[in-house]
Amino acid sequence: MGSLPVWVLVFVLCFSCICDVNANVIVEGTVFIEGKFPIAKTDEDFICATLDWWPPEKCDYGTCSWDHASLLNLDLKNVLFLNAVKAFSPLKIRLGGTLQDKVIYQTEDKLKPCIPFAKNSSEMFGFTQGCLPLARWDELNSFFNQSGALVIFGLNALRGKSIQPRNIATGPWDSTNTASLIRYTLKKGYSIYGWELGNELSGSGIGVGIDADQYAADTIILHSMIQDIYKEVGVKPQIIAPGGFFDHDWYQQFLAKTVGSLNVITHHIYNLGPGSDEHLLERILNPSTLDNGADVFRNLHNVVKNSPNDMAAWVGEAGGAYNSGRNKVTNTFVFSFWYLDQLGLASTYDTKTYCRQTLIGGNYGLLNTTTFVPNPDYYSALLWHRLMGRNVLLTNFTGTRMIRAYAHCAKQSQGITLLLINMDRNTTVQAKLNFNGTFMYLHKHRHHHHRHRSNVSPLPHRKQASVAFREEYHLTPMGGNIQSQIVLLNGKELRVDSSGLIPALEPVRVNSSDPITVASYSIVFVHMPSVVLPACR
């Protein structure tokens, strides 16, 4: 073959230079924050995680990822597990999952042996009926009391129903066994934040469904039961339902029939598809996929807003990828991109609580299923819990689609907290701030405020008598590998010590006049105590 023309060689060389430059590109962007008023409000304890019923025999795609993470066999004496829950002070924990509608509860008057779940492919969900022993319920509540957890218990909503050929469960709910458990719980002095009726039975259901009218009637029975059993108690547990996938017409009909009987409406999210999807990683890193996650929040928010029922909306269970997630993806650093974006989207649409599937168990646990060591998402959840306050601020970012931006009033402190997620592997972003002239910069060591109209930074460019600082928490994966299960905070590995203590999450202090640098494949929480917005006063 002859030599290439000179113009071809020049093009190839120039293209190589462009690629090399792009591999380390730094771009500028602007975070716009509307500070006049909050657009939504979350619960103080917005972060929630789940514990499930799945026994060790639960397997997906030839892999069994649950080990001893079930409510029935989880090691409640593990010090690391206790410390991981206590670190939130408090953490909402939702007890439930697919098998909850096959659980019967041992009762004091009928102390028959509790027969555990057994694998049986001919049974719905692949397992026989299981049983919760009262002794195990005692152990669980002892742990919850010690850890300070707020407990939401998922009740069996199929008890007494008949399964019809179209996989529709008909007939009234038999609440006898549930009433026995609740009376025992109250007699023992166990604190339950909420009782949730059913799991994934809304609409056509998963495996089986219940019509909205019948589900509403069953929920009213639960409400009446709680009112009766807790009649001597001032603050009664929340009535929660249906713990299913959002179906617009079903949810609308259900809400219309439960006026005055429902405190919280819950829905589940597995919007990334099956854990077996080989393209799961690419989907997590795709801004369009993340954007589409807003649809359910928006639609449910509109249904709730237009309902005569006064209740809160929760995400009752969200694992992203169903069938136990995917090892080396949903338990690694990259999944914090999806998870934190979900927390941001959910809060924007007035979701009060977000329950992650799971606290431990499967391939999507906040904790490693066998060692109890925190996965990266645990630290993402803990930072959100400690830094992001209840008031949600309208926020958007211009500069690149690969940055996700959310801001809240700061939690238990002055100022605001900004979350920036950079999903680009080759681009570092330097972000400036624009508050549209709505903020006041609070000088430290002074007793009065000075208003600045700067659209870039809370600090003017002239020298100040006292320099303001912000606190930054930069999360990056070990070795730059987004599929690492080890996360670095400000360059230092987060590691539990030999006694099982959760590491301190310490920020770095940065001059508030400097742009916020968000490295490629990184997450940054920025607490700005000196920025005072009307929305946060």
* Burial annotation 114-150 (CB, 10 A radius, 16+ → b, else e): bebbeeeeeebbbbbbbbbebebbeebbebbeebebb
User: What residues of the chain score a pLDDT lower than 70?
Assistant: 1-23, 437, 439-466
Domain 25-38+398-439+467-536, architecture per CATH: Sandwich (2.60)
The answer to whether the CB of 420 falls within 8 A of the CB of 405 is yes
The single residue of 34, 200, 471, 472 carrying the catalytic annotation is: 200
Distances from the Cα of 37 to the Cαs of 208, 263, 304, 438, in angstroms?
A: 43, 26, 21, 10
How confident is the model over 347-406, as pLDDT tens digits?
999 999 999 999 999 999 999 999 999 999 999 999 999 999 999 999 999 999 999 999
The single residue of 34, 196, 317, 472 carrying the catalytic annotation is: 317
- The pLDDT value given to residue 23: 56
Amino acid at 365: G
Three-state secondary-structure class, residue 462: coil
- The average confidence (pLDDT) of the chain is 92
The answer to whether the CB of 186 falls within 8 A of the CB of 229 is yes
Q: Burial level of 466, CB count in 10 A (0-12/13-18/19+)? A: exposed
d(CA 232, CA 103): 28
What fold does the segment set 44-390 form as a domain?
Answer: TIM Barrel (3.20.20)
- The pLDDT value given to residue 6: 38
Name beta bridge partners: 107.
110
- The pLDDT value given to residue 404: 98
Q: Is 200 a catalytic residue?
A: yes
How confident is the model over 272-324, as pLDDT tens digits?
999 999 999 999 999 999 999 999 999 999 999 999 989 999 999 999 999 99
The answer to whether the CB of 358 falls within 8 A of the CB of 50 is yes
In 264-311, at which residue ranges do the beta strands (DSSP E only) sit? 264-269, 273-274
Amino acid at 217: A
d(CA 437, CA 456): 10
Q: Is 282 a catalytic residue?
A: no
SS (H, E, C) 162-197: EECCCCEEECCCCCHHHHHHHHHHHHCCCCCCEEEE
The structural domains of the chain, with segments of one domain joined by +, span 25-38+398-439+467-536, 44-390
Q: What are the tokens at 141?
A: 């509540």
The answer to whether the CB of 391 falls within 8 A of the CB of 536 is yes
The answer to whether the CB of 337 falls within 8 A of the CB of 344 is no
Amino acid at 456: V
Tokens 């829950």 belong to: 85
- How many helices (H) and strands (E) the chain has is answered by 11, 29
